[in-house]
Structure 1
């Protein structure tokens, strides 16, 4: 008999949790050679997960004082020459397209657009910090050999934001971003592997401005020290324009990647000549804090698929409640319950008796957080017998009471399925 710690067993478990396999089996996403490598499409259940995740982060950002914008996925080549992307990052960009005597480029990043949005209006120190957020598309010319599932793609939907603030405000903004990351990870039921202070390394891929690098590095180091977070420094992992705090996660195969980031940038405010009017009536240069709470939607969902093996937290699950009438006689009650769920904004589906035996239908719905069994006794009393995904069974209870409780747990973005003492094993 093989040891449970054997390499073969570990490989089998890793393959079972591989998001590329699970994502297709669960009808979350897929690819087609006619669309192209690194360009997955989202199926209805995957689109539900993505939409729910996007709405969570937009709501969290609004509560934290962010203003949302939309900006084009194209920009003139000149824009990226000014930002520094063209000289430092063009190997990862798609080739420019000739358009009306100009060259336009699919953007590799949102920050130049947000710098222009800031620059389009005059600003007083009283308005700062100004927090601009966008869930926007960007594009990377990744080599075919590194593409895979949702983790390495060529079209990326990024949860991005840029905070324009005074130097005195920058540390607090970076700390607030780290707190938002912590809260998001708690709601998603995931944990960081480690925090990394990403610094420049040797070579010419970084902006040559030693003083700016020193100021930005000192600021982020102080933020990490004051936050009490353990971290490691890593040379050669910085953005070309500045250092960053990277929040690292690990997949089932032990591969580490960056999910969330906080960056301090003194470079682009200079490049785009950004300023605000200070209390002294003079022009001052703002600091630009880049931050991404969940990184790209694609990589975030890939990590969630693998971490939860498809059993997402209830608030994120594509189907939150499966209704299971025992016989056709309970179908009207099932329809009424589904209508009630829709009115409460719960994502419910019905598994009718013609889909198989009750036990088979329960197995098919094993990843659904809640299963509502309706038999003759429940139908007569407008009760439901809830089964929880973790195996617990609850005593029959009035359907409105059960749905209200589920709705409250989902609204709280709780990872708990139920915390009532009435729960039974």
Structure 2
């Protein structure tokens, strides 16, 4: 990629992430500003899921080989998994996905139809043994933090749960300032990569078509892009060079509930098999951040920006009022810093903070009157404001999690 917004270059220039040969290819580490963006994104998706009725869990990144034999990953996906680790007479694997662990959590006790749909979410680690030739920046990595969730529901609930997941994805894209390039119905191809159960594939595909048709979303079918255990809806994104990747997914799965012998007690008192809806709102945190860097060129929406407010005293005499304003901003939950005069001329400091959503200049006149002169990242200068008024406006914009820099008059 040669675009100026290549996240591999810009992410390092902005000191968001980096790599080291001793850690290995495909294993980036996050620098403080990148960790802030990642944390804000994770907190956003957790809150969105909580509001949508999901409950969060934690599960280990290791599992016995037997677990992945039951799920089918060992048979159909072992080429993309790290080799087993022998511990005594047992073999353990770094997990390639979270769904087997969530199936075990579901079956940890008896379930009633009254509990369904049961929505289980996790921001969890998983690992893929990607070849070094396909690794790049944050988009293809070996250690992945996945925004994953599984809804255990009745057959009658499956379409609505999948449709609701698509709506959740759409709202998140609007808040993040990104857009879907297209929606794809990913179907199986030929060969032994896929579970051999034609009835399963027909049922799941028909339900996903109902979801897409009912949502009024244009889509294209693509053979050979399904998961090994079932079809899926892939929400495709495009980088500035026009190359596509999958970010978000929705799947309806009959395979895993059968493999793990999942059931619930129905209103008739008998055991019934649940359907498992897999969905990821932002996909992997790594790929999501890479896309956000490229879409916004580092000028993140205010709620995602590593620094949301930079305060610029004109001279040393205004340093203390600037520090006091920064402390007040931090008390309100804002990420604020002071760019003091020792860092250069006012013009140089303004340029250095060009990606920060809000700047607040304090000169002698402003300090005497308890005012600041705000500057917005887009070049607007709203005019002098009391410090409390500025902080209120900035806090409102941040809490709204939108992309607008200033409230409309």
Give the structure-1-normalised TM-score. 0.95
Alignment equivalent of 1:246, drawn from 200, 224, 234: 234
Contact 2:310-2:336 within 8 A present in 1 as well: yes
Match of 1:177 in 2: 165
Alignment equivalent of 1:366, drawn from 349, 354, 374: 354
The SS at the match of 2:147 is strand
Task: Say whether residues 1:51 and 2:39 are aligned partners.
Answer: yes
Deviation at 1:116, TM superposition (A): 0.2
Alignment equivalent of 1:276, drawn from 233, 239, 264: 264
Contact 2:119-2:152 within 8 A present in 1 as well: yes
Task: Say whether residues 1:200 and 2:188 are aligned partners.
Answer: yes
Deviation at 1:252, TM superposition (A): 1.5
Matches within 5 A, 1:137-148: 137-148=125-136
Give the structure-2-normalised TM-score. 0.99
The total of aligned residue pairs comes to: 409
Runs of 4+ in 1 over 6 A off after TM superposition: none
The SS at the match of 1:17 is coil
Match of 1:225 in 2: 213
Deviation at 1:408, TM superposition (A): 1.1
Deviation at 1:105, TM superposition (A): 0.2
Task: Say whether residues 1:332 and 2:320 are aligned partners.
Answer: yes
The SS at the match of 2:330 is helix
Match of 1:303 in 2: 291
Over residues 97-130 of structure 1, what are the superposed CA-to-partner deviations in whole Å (9 max), with x where a residue is unaligned? Answer: 1012100000000000000000001110000000
Match of 2:121 in 1: 133
Contact 2:393-2:407 within 8 A present in 1 as well: no
Match of 2:402 in 1: 414
Match of 1:234 in 2: 222
Over residues 109-157 of structure 1, what are the superposed CA-to-partner deviations in whole Å (9 max), with x where a residue is unaligned? Answer: 0000000000001110000000000000000000000000000000000
Match of 1:23 in 2: 11
User: How well do the aligned residues superpose, as a CA RMSD in angstroms?
Assistant: 0.7
Deviation at 1:415, TM superposition (A): 0.5
Gapped regions of structure 2 (runs ≥ 5): none
Gapped regions of structure 1 (runs ≥ 5): 1-10
- Find the aligned partners of 1:261 and 1:410 in 2 and give their Cα distance: 28
- Find the aligned partners of 1:117 and 1:258 in 2 and give their Cα distance: 27
The SS at the match of 1:214 is helix
Deviation at 1:253, TM superposition (A): 1.7
Match of 1:65 in 2: 53
The SS at the match of 2:192 is coil
The SS at the match of 1:259 is strand
